[in-house]
Amino acid sequence: MPTATVSQILSDPTAPLDSPLTRDAIITVRWSVQDVPNGQSVGTQECTLLLEADHGITAQVDSASRTYSFRLSKGTLLPALPLHARVRANFTAQAPAVAIPAVTSANANVEFASRLVPEREAISTVYGELNTELRRTRTLYESFLVAVTAALATLYSKRDVIAGATHRGFMLIGLAALTIIVVYMLWAVSRRYTRAISWVGNLEKALGVRQGDPPADLMPDKARLWKEGAWQHTLWAIMLTAYVGVLVASAGYLLRAKPEPPAPTPPAQTQTVICDCARPTDTSRTPPPGGKSAAPSPPKATSK
């Protein structure tokens, strides 16, 4: 017949439970199910933390789990100490086997808190500051993307001026230094964002608004790259770095390129005037020898 045993997981430092609780406490228990016959498998499970002989907190646990954490809030009254924990395991049978009855473990004494949670007020303050930091970081990411896009558009619109600029060697050195600074800042912001996301998740678990057992260190300094949801932020940083690389490569190509020679100016067109000197002159318009032209005689008046 199958059997189930349960025990408490204690973390250092441990603290004895008192009533009422002076701080939020987490009680973590683990269990094992042994001697399961062939053709049978563990189905649904129930983990119970008994506060009194006939009163407790019961949680439904999936068949693959073997640990569970109970959270007791600050100010909870504990009528009977020590507390007790037990597990009930149900079984499912595969045809043609017949399912066997559920088994219940013996009670395990719970005299200490597995872990004490820091003060809720302090966690709430840090949680609010981290959410503000996340909003600022997202704004910085968006501003960075807009700035790089505008720089790329300006680069291509001014390519003729850049290609013909003087002191291009000095400009290349400055471009390389600027690239190193921007990429370093980009990855520093990415690591900071990843840590803040992890810290916020741990604080939410400590506050009880997210399911899960909070780690002993709520705000670790180590920033992951590809685990626990960090790969999205790492991939984002890689894509932004590639975007900066396109901008730098384009600028370097334009600085290294030789300016195109100016288009040749077409020669100025001249107007040719042809004079026909062999044409006979009009004698009626030739002035008299005295140098003055004869004035036309006025018309004669007629008398009636």
Measured between alpha carbons, how far is 214 from 57 in angstroms, rounded to an integer? Answer: 19
User: Quick one: 82 and 44 in the same domain?
Assistant: yes
SS (H, E, C) the chain: CCEEEEEEECCCCCEECCCCCCCCEEEEEEEEEECCCCCEEEEEEEEEEECCCCCEEEEEECCCCCEEEEEECCCCCCCCCCEEEEEEEEEEECCCCCCCCCEECCCEEECEECEECCCHHHHHHHHHHHHHHHHHHHHHHHHHHHHHHHHHHHHHHCHHHHHCCCCHHHHHHHHHHHHHHHHHHHHHHHHHHHHHHHHHHHHHHHHCCCCCCCCCCCCCCCCCCCCCCCHHHHHHHHHHHHHHHHHHHHHHHHHHCCCCCCCCCCCCCCCCCCCCCCCCCCHHHCCCCCCCCCCCCCCCCCCC
Q: How confident is the chain (304 residues) per 10-residue block, as mean pLDDT?
A: 88 77 86 86 90 85 88 84 91 78 90 80 85 88 82 74 64 78 84 86 81 76 73 83 82 66 64 63 56 54 51
Residue 300 lies in a domain: no
CATH code for position 18:
2.60.40.10
User: Quick one: 23 and 112 in the same domain?
Assistant: yes
Residue 277 lies in a domain: no
User: Quick one: 157 and 42 in the same domain?
Assistant: no
User: Quick one: 146 and 192 in the same domain?
Assistant: yes
Q: 181 is in which domain, residue-wise?
A: 120-256
Residue 266 lies in a domain: no
Which pLDDT score, from 0 to 100, does residue 85 have? 93
Which pLDDT score, from 0 to 100, does residue 304 have? 46
Residue 223 lies in a domain: yes
Residue 172 lies in a domain: yes
Domain-terminating residue out of 74, 99, 116: 116
Do 3 and 87 touch, CB atoms closer than 8 A?
Answer: no
Which pLDDT score, from 0 to 100, does residue 160 have? 67
Which pLDDT score, from 0 to 100, does residue 227 have? 72
Residue 206 lies in a domain: yes
Residue 79 lies in a domain: yes
Domain-terminating residue out of 82, 116, 150: 116
User: Quick one: 157 and 243 in the same domain?
Assistant: yes
Q: Which amino acid is at 269?
A: Q
Domain-terminating residue out of 85, 116, 147: 116
User: Quick one: 75 and 191 in the same domain?
Assistant: no
User: Quick one: 125 and 245 in the same domain?
Assistant: yes
Which pLDDT score, from 0 to 100, does residue 299 have? 56
Number of domains in the chain: 2
User: Quick one: 42 and 153 in the same domain?
Assistant: no
User: Quick one: 32 and 79 in the same domain?
Assistant: yes
User: Quick one: 234 and 137 in the same domain?
Assistant: yes
Rounded to two decimals, the pTM is 0.52
User: Quick one: 62 and 163 in the same domain?
Assistant: no
User: Quick one: 112 and 153 in the same domain?
Assistant: no
Residue 186 lies in a domain: yes
